[in-house]
Amino acid sequence: MRLAAKGAAVYVPDLPGHGKSDTPESPLNMLGLANALIDWLDAMDIAQADLVGHSMGCQIASDVAVRFPTRVRRLALIGPTVDPSHRNIHAQLLRALYACTFERPGFFLHVMADYWRMGTRLWPEAIAMLNYPIEEKLSCIEQPVLLVRGQRDKIAPQRWLDQASQMTGAERVVTIPNWGHNVIYSAPDAVVAELWSFLG
């Protein structure tokens, strides 16, 4: 809520099956989650918004930006998944486990608790994330884009961010020193400073 403290109107929707929202009857793919986000914007009577996505959220935000371009003013993508050169479940699991070593103490237990709460929905959603070709959407984005990663992010390495920058014509590409994939958790002040500069 650091952005809200600066005066921004900040909304943090719980998409179906996440946070405190109801669990859908069957797991949703990225398209389904993007549609749910549009439905939520409609329900909140938000005609246009700046979207900030992290990790899998970048896929959802990018999909909305491409399919509903008038609904998105600016797009901030933090640690976007999935790096096309490592689109397999084993590579991503290894990267995810390794990435936890570059986060603040206690983060690994927090992530494991979230995965446990997801239960049987975790695997289908992970497969849907891996199967979603974000690179095909990035090249179609018309809005201004900010790309952010942690310096030690093994899930969204610099090489992949450079490719994403070329695809989107990103207005700004930022690497936050020292931290890994979950830089929004480990270095929130640094991330908020970049978001405020870009969105403000």
Alpha helices in 70-187 (DSSP H): 89-99, 107-118, 122-131, 134-138, 158-168, 183-186
- Look at residue 114 and tell me whether its pLDDT is greater than 80: no
In a domain, 1, yes or no: no
Q: How confident is the model at residue 34 (pLDDT cuts 50, 70, 90)?
A: very high
Q: Which pLDDT value is given to residue 103? A: 66
Give tens-digit pLDDT for 133-192: 999 999 999 999 999 999 999 889 999 999 999 999 999 999 999 988 889 888 999 999
In a domain, 4, yes or no: no
13-27, 80-94, 111-125, 154-168: least confident range: 111-125
The span from the CA of 81 to the CA of 161, in Å, is: 10
- Look at residue 9 and tell me whether its pLDDT is greater than 70: yes
Domain interval for residue 171? 13-199
Mean pLDDT for all residues in the chain: 86
Total number of domains in the chain: 1
For residues 71 and 47, the answer to whether their CB atoms sit within 8 Å is yes
Residue 113 Cα distances to 107, 149, 186, angstroms = 10, 24, 18
For residue 106, the domain's CATH number is: 3.40.50.1820
For the whole model, what pTM was predicted?
0.86
